[in-house]
Amino acid sequence: LPELLAWRTEVAQELAQGADADGTLAAADQRRGKAEATCLLAGRALTKKRLAAAKEWSATLTRELKPLGFPHARIAFEVAQRARGAPRPRAWTTCS
């Protein structure tokens, strides 16, 4: 019986959402907007960390090459942003 009562409440909530489709869509859009803003903020923080790490590791590894007999060698890590378009759910690493 408790499962039936819980299911009844769940069904009532789903029916209420269906009756107010515009309100439900507006609320979903608002949640999506907040989630997007949160993700963009986290992405900016991650980019700052990546830029700092790239600078640090480039210098560190370049220094490490000199005692190995590579006095003119240089290792450089570059963090580049996408030129345009919406963020993708998956990132690809490229080497050049």
Each residue's pLDDT tens digit, 34-44: 888 898 899 88
| Angle (CA) 24 29 31, round 5° | 95
**What global pTM score does this model have?**
0.56
Each residue's pLDDT tens digit, 35-82: 888 988 998 899 899 999 999 999 999 999 999 999 999 999 988 877
Alpha carbon distance 53, 58 (integer Å): 8
Residue 47 to residues 19, 52, 63, 65, 82, Cα–Cα distance (Å): 43, 9, 24, 27, 12
